[in-house]
Amino acid sequence: MKIETIIQSAVQEAVTELYYFSPDVTQIQVQNTKKDQKGDITIVVFPFVRISKKSPEETGREIGNYILKKVNSVESFEVVKGFLNLNIKNEYWINGLVSSFNESTFGIAEHSEDTKTVMVEYSSPNTNKPLHLGHIRNNLLGYSISEILKANGNKVIKTNIVNDRGIHICKSMYAWQQWGSDRTPENTGIKGDHLVGECYVEFNNHYKAEVDELVKQGMTEELAENNAPSMLAVREMLRKWEAHDLETIQLWHTMNGWVYKGFDETYKKLGVDFDKIYYESETYLVGKDEVLRGLDENIFFQKDDSSVWADLTGEGLDQKILLRSDGTSVYITQDIGTAKMRYNDFSIDKMVYVVGNEQNYHFQILAVLLDKLGFKWGKDLYHFSYGMVELPSGKMKSREGTVVDADDLIEEMISVARNMSAELGKLESLSQEEAENTFRMIALGALKYFILKVDPRKNMLFNPAESIDFNGNTGPFIQYTHARIKSVLRKAAEKQIELTIDIDIKELSTKEKELLKTISLFPEVVKDAGANYSPAIIANFIYELVKEYNQFYHDHSILLEEDAARRNFRLVLSATVAKIASSGMKLLGIEMPERM
């Protein structure tokens, strides 16, 4: 049992026995003692003063003396104003180290009988462009959240919905037909998703020129946008697609095939995967059927132009179009169909959508629509709303081609890792193959950590140079510390020093004790990260852990320690830090090199 839980119970008993009042254990504030004060665990005394009718200091002393008698792990206490600071015996922290060293999955929960099934949707790309920096944040958050939920004992299904149909897809198709039908990934050497993305940008350039010309001829901008020849053509192409026109469908299959191959390469580089992939082209018809059912049951209504709408004003929302006047569907229609298919395919207890905060309103509407259609699970969906990634130059725009391409960014990060390692003289002892693999791990570790250490709900500014620094709160700093520990452990093995859990020491230095206390927090950190859907909680904890270790490493000998018992203790301590750092970084999708 955790020391905090033991102390909470002891405080409850103390207040009951001393002051004849039984407080709820959840109301008893137990926290880590501030580093500028003596002690390990602090109890906030102020809430009990009105019950004891004594000063905070006297109340603290009485509760402290009670705990000292009842809790064997407490060695002494000190009262500072309204705070009771408890000193925990070294034996408790050492026993905790032994447990964490012995337990291969320390901090990671196993599935149980009441295991929940959670589906996490992330990535959700469009097949009209390659993945970019914004997609990277989405994929990294979705993958990490999935791993963290697994670590909290849930069964997790990772899923992706590919937006493979619609007006935006037709724009790339039309542009390829008109201005580049001789180009293929094979004859150009261009990755398929990049080639299709170039077509999308090309369409928008032509379309913008057409709109400008029509405005010059006297049309309003809105009328020009709706009547530009290119826009009329792609609308017709979408109608043909939904009518299963053979030529249109064949072109769609061909270009989407190029994109899927490109996506798979990028996903592999990023180290993310999916258990099930859904396609909008397969789910939108299910959604249309549900909308038409809702129309028949008077849940929705039809306007004079035959478009179908939902009136959500009673829920404090607006009216929402569900089917256009020409019968084509919109995004929300597909989401309704996808949701139904998922709950038919899997017995899901929770659905988590990892989608940017610009879609907050969309998911409010989706929850209400699913509920109106009679799906009990509708209101239980969870929109994990995260902030946007911005660059020093501002926001990215796909249609203007001003995005940071995911593939280019990954290659650039690997190049930077290679150059920085060469400058610092690292990895010189590795073979070329081992070095290249390590450069990749450092680069991806830098990229992933830099993105995931930020509170996911906040917008963030991405700076590649900062992310790959070997000092400070970065992935490479954590990886380097892990490699340093592994080096120490290898040298110990070479000297035939065996690690044993029979730790026979009584005294601990301040830094040794702080490190032990930090280690003990890992299981709670994993739970907290799961409850808050926040990889940042894991990331920043691991940074604090390795920072604490580096301070310990700077001040204490390990292999040169003459006392065999203390040397063994420090080796076990080091090995446990490496294990927790590796386990925590794995939850972020980050690999840890053995050598750096």
| Per-residue model confidence as pLDDT tens digits over 321-339 | 999 998 888 889 999 999 9
- Please say which residue of 337, 368, 400 terminates a domain: 400
CATH number at residue 496: 1.10.730.10
In contact, 112 and 535? CB cutoff 8 Å: no
Do 261 and 358 lie in one domain? The reply is: yes
Q: Considering the domain boundaries, does residue 503 fall inside one?
A: yes
- Please say which residue of 41, 66, 88 terminates a domain: 88
Count of alpha carbons within 13 Å of 513, Cβ hemisphere only? 16
Q: Considering the domain boundaries, does residue 169 fall inside one?
A: yes
Kindly report the length of the chain: 596
Determine how many CB atoms are found less than 10 A away from the CB of residue 540.
17
Instruction: Tell me the pLDDT band of 396, cut-offs 50, 70 and 90.
Output: very low
Q: Considering the domain boundaries, does residue 26 fall inside one?
A: yes
Which pLDDT score, from 0 to 100, does residue 499 have?
93
Q: Which residue has the higher pLDDT, 207 or 379?
A: 207
Which pLDDT score, from 0 to 100, does residue 402 have?
55
* pTM listed for this prediction: 0.91
Q: Give the mean pLDDT of 267-274.
A: 97
Do 486 and 553 lie in one domain? The reply is: yes
Q: Is the pLDDT of residue 394 over 60?
A: no
Q: Considering the domain boundaries, does residue 392 fall inside one?
A: yes
The number of domains in the chain is: 3
Q: Give the mean pLDDT of 205-228.
A: 95
Q: Considering the domain boundaries, does residue 414 fall inside one?
A: no
Query: Which of 444, 461, 455, 280 is CA-nearest to residue 384?
Result: 455
User: What average pLDDT is seen over the chain?
Assistant: 92
Residues 6+ apart with CB under 8 A from 500: 568, 572
DSSP state of 181: T
Q: Is the pLDDT of residue 108 over 70?
A: yes
Q: Considering the domain boundaries, does residue 432 fall inside one?
A: no
Do 163 and 43 lie in one domain? The reply is: no
Do 316 and 179 lie in one domain? The reply is: yes
Which pLDDT score, from 0 to 100, does residue 260 have?
97
Nearest 5°: CA angle at 161, between 156 and 166? 170
Q: Is the pLDDT of residue 424 over 90?
A: no
CATH number at residue 377: 3.40.50.620
Instruction: Tell me the pLDDT band of 426, cut-offs 50, 70 and 90.
Output: low
List the domain range (segments joined by +) for residue 525: 446-587
Q: Write out pLDDT tens, residues 76-107.
A: 999 998 999 999 999 999 999 999 999 989 99
Which pLDDT score, from 0 to 100, does residue 439 have?
92
Q: Is the pLDDT of residue 541 over 80?
A: yes
361: left (phi over 0), alpha (psi -120 to 50) or beta: alpha
Q: Give the mean pLDDT of 30-52.
A: 92
Do 54 and 172 lie in one domain? The reply is: no
